[in-house]
Amino acid sequence: MILIGMIKKMNNSMRWGFHMDLFTNYNLTIAIKHDISSHNHCLITGSSGSGKSYALLYLLGMLLKSEPTIKVYFCDFKNSNDFNFLKDYEHYYSGNKCYKGIMDYYKAFTEARVSGNSDTRHILICDEYPAFINYLQMKDKQDKTKYATDILSAVSEILMLGRGIGFGIWIITQRADNSLFNNGARDNFMIIVALGRLSREQKSMLFSGEELPDKIYRQGEGILLADGYELKEVKYPKINNVSDWKRHILSVIKQ
């Protein structure tokens, strides 16, 4: 029984990128690995052009390699060319449909929490989350609705309670302002990836108490802080054949 448990834990280990110094200085691809079951909430942040979309594409492929049975909900508010290869997948939501995507995920989460039973791990990925919230808030003012409140409350609850029943969230954003996460829910991210150049405010907001390297990072480079571990510099490698990578993601995600 102990051996079986160890194998299961190893199978849940996911690559979150490579150690940047070893990759840059010695061309060594030594992966940064963390268990999906203990580190299922991830915040990816960085300014425009820092490589967030490319890193997300890499991480989605790694996620499905480490846990191919995971059920993915993907919300792509900007309807980008990077991820429209998922357009025929049943849980891909773009533009205004992202509201339905998050609420569908929240419904599945609530049902699992009430029943106390979830046989499959789930993940919700929200790209351009702040732009989506801003859009909903503008719409709420115009139409006197509460769509933004629905989303902020749902995401907050999942961040605080989802880990124990296998429901995770990945949020991708240029800025990770606390106003996007109700009741301090931002503190529940087990992994924070910050790419490119961060403002002093962002550094203080996300990495309070951490001693950060005094560097200017290039595209696809940055820092990674995982709950319970020391801060690391991370590098996302070039995907040699992006078409094959996307084809693999699509084939696994639709099984």
Q: Is 199 annotated as a binding residue?
A: no
Known binding residue 50? Answer is: yes
User: Is residue 48 a known part of a binding site?
Assistant: yes
How many angstroms separate the most distant Cα atoms in the chain? Answer: 58
Helices (H) and strands (E) in the chain, counts: 8, 10
Is 243 known to sit in a ligand binding site? no
With H, G, I as helix, E, B as strand and everything else as coil, classify residue 164.
helix
Among 132, 127, 131, CA closest to 84: 127
CB atoms inside a 10 Å sphere around CB 224 = 23
CA angle at 239 for the pair 130 and 68, rounded to the nearest 5°: 75
Is 95 one of the annotated binding-site residues?
Answer: no
**246, 239 contact by CB (below 8 A):** no
- Give the count of beta carbons closer than 10 Å to the beta carbon of residue 142: 8
Write the single-letter amino acid at 183: N
What is the signed CA dihedral for 156, 161, 166, 172, rounded to 10 degrees?
Answer: 20
Q: Is 162 annotated as a binding residue?
A: no
Q: Check the annotation: does 208 bind a ligand.
A: no
> Known binder of ligand: residue 5?
no
| Alpha helices (H) in 125-184, listed in sequence order | 129-143, 147-161
Per the annotation, binding residues are 46-53
Residues tagged in the binding site annotation for ATP = 46-53
